[in-house]
């Protein structure tokens, strides 16, 4: 649970985490019905549509106004978005 919360960048209180464990295990138990299905040789469906090669011409279009963009930001400085220090490498 801790690992998943870290991957999801959610800080959960102990209470929340505990409640979540209960709820999620209930749901995971329900989805166990899938384990019984014979899925040998069945391909996965990622897209419900058969479309392929949807492409866009390499032509420049409009961009947003920087002031408008930065006005929406919680914090900005110097024409950029400002964030607290970064501890990890990507």
Partner 1 sequence: MTQTALDIAADVRARRRSAREVVDEHLATIEAREGEVHAFNAVLAEEARRTADAVDGSIAAGDDPGPLAGVPVVVKDNMCTRGIPTTCGSRILEGWRPPYDATVVERLREAGAVLVGKTNLDEFAMGSSTENSAFGPTGNPHDLARVPGGSSGGSAAAVAAGFAPLALGSDTGGSIRQPAALCGVVGVKPTYGLVSRYGLVAFASSLDQIGPFASTVADAAAALDAIAVPDPRDSTCIPDARPAYVEALQTGADGLRVGIVEELTEADGVEPEVRNAVERAASVLEAGGAHVDRVSVPSAVYGISAYYLIAPAEASSNLARYDGVRYGLRVEGEDVGTMNARTRAAGFGDEVKRRIMLGTYALSAGYFDAYYGKAQKVRTLIIRDFARAYETHNVLLAPTTPTVAFKLGEKTSDPLAMYLSDVCTVPSSLAGHPAMSVPFGTGADNLPVGVQVLAPPLAEVIMLRTAQALEESVR
Partner 2 sequence: MSVYEAVIGLELHVELATATKLFCSCPNEFGAEPNTNVCPVCLGLPGSLPVLNARAVELALRLAEALDFDVPDRSIFARKNYFYPDMPKDFQISQYESPILSDGRLEVDGATVGIERAHLEEDTGKTVHMGGGGRIHDAEHSLVDYNRAGVPLMEIVSRPDIRSAEQARAYVTELRGVLKAIGLSDVKMEEGSMRVDANVSVREAGAAEFGTKVEIKNMNSLRSLGRAIEHEIERQSAMLDAGERIIQETRHWNEDDGTTHGMRTKEGSSDYRYFPEPDLTPVAPTDEQRAAVRGALPELPAQQRSRLVALGVPEAAARTIVEAELTTYTTSATVSTATTADVANWVQGEVLARVNAEDADPEEKLPAARLGELVDLVAEGTISRAQAKEVFDQVWGTSKVPREVVKDQGLAQVSDEGELAKVIDDIITANPKESDAYRAGDDKARGKLQGFFIGQAMKATGGKANGQLLKKLLDDRLG
Identify which of residues 36 and 55 has a Cβ nearer to partner 2 in the complex: 55
User: Which listed option, partner 1, partner 2, none, makes contact with residue 14 (CB within 5 to 8 Å by class)?
Assistant: none
Residue 89 engages partner 2 in binding (rule: CB under 8 A) = yes
Q: Which stretch binds partner 2 (CB under 8 A): 12-20, 22-30, 34-42, 75-83?
A: 75-83
Query: Would you say the C-alpha torsion 13, 16, 21, 25 has a positive or negative sign?
Result: negative
Q: Compute the half-sphere exposure of residue 13: CA atoms within 13 Å on the CB side of its CA.
A: 2
How many residues belong to the site for partner 2 (CB under 8 A)? Answer: 38
Nearest to 42 by CA among 50, 34, 32: 34
């Amino acid at each position: 649970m801790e690992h998943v919360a870290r991957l999801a960048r959610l800080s959960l209180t102990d209470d929340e985490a505990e409640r979540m464990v209960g709820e999620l295990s209930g749901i995971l138990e329900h989805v166990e019905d899938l384990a019984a299905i014979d899925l040998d040789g069945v391909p996965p469906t990622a897209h419900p549509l058969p479309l392929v090669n949807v492409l866009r011409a390499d032509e420049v279009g409009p961009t947003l106004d920087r002031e408008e963009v930065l006005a929406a930001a919680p914090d900005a400085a110097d024409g950029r978005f400002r964030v607290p220090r970064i501890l990890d490498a990507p």
